[in-house]
Amino acid sequence: LESSLLTQPWASVCFGESSFLAKACFRDTGYILLISDLSSVWYENADTQVVGQRSKELNKRLTVHVSSFLHRLRNLMCPLLEGQPSTATSFSCHHIAGGLSLHLKSELSGLPFYWDFHCCPAPVEMVSRHLVRPLIRMSLALQCQVQELSSLLLQKDAEIEDYRESEAALSRGRLRTEPFQEKMFQQNFMAE
């Protein structure tokens, strides 16, 4: 499950007044949820045994197979993570001693459906693998892209200057641009 979670994108979600980044992976064998407020990272990795036990505690009137519960959880969480939360489903979260509890309330076959995600602090290696390393890689990729674009702009400025020196004129004055100032761009970028 965790290796499948690596391929899932982070999504911005709100639970009540709180904003989080979250990602999840659901399979017939269980699920894994990773959630962060950018100060802390929590996770829950639940197998079919945990799901079966918790479903009996929270949904005494529902008697369905564990895979049906997992399928229902996937159908409730995936739209939320895709930015399309259902109005028929409500989420709330509570900080508990050393962790985070995420409460879900919905309906299943006309009966109330409840689920609690009991998240504990994620291990450092998991945080590094799912959050820190990808962010550093993305930052490095963006830095390379900015350098390539800066180089391209400087080449374009040199090409435009060559046209000007050969007395080429713009047909529309509004298209005239100032030469790219790489140092000024970098300073403004860092200031922002």
Whether 33 and 102 map to the same domain: the answer is: yes
Q: Assess whether pLDDT exceeds 90 at residue 165.
A: no
How many CB atoms are located within 10 Å of the residue 79 CB?
13
CATH label of the domain that carries residue 57: 2.170.210.10
CA distances from 170 to 89, 154, 158, 174, 178 (A): 58, 19, 16, 9, 14
Least confident of 28-37, 88-97, 173-182: 173-182
Q: What is the pLDDT of residues 36-64, one digit of tens each?
A: 998 999 999 999 999 999 988 998 887 77
- Final residue of a structural domain among 96, 122, 148: 122
Whether 156 and 176 map to the same domain: the answer is: yes
Q: Could you give the number of structural domains in the chain?
A: 2
Residue 33: domain span? 1-122
Whether 22 and 73 map to the same domain: the answer is: yes
Whether 167 and 72 map to the same domain: the answer is: no
Whether 104 and 159 map to the same domain: the answer is: no
| Residue 162: band (very low, low, confident or very high) from pLDDT cuts 50, 70, 90 | confident
Q: Assess whether pLDDT exceeds 80 at residue 170.
A: no
Average pLDDT over the chain, rounded to whole?
A: 89
Whether 17 and 104 map to the same domain: the answer is: yes
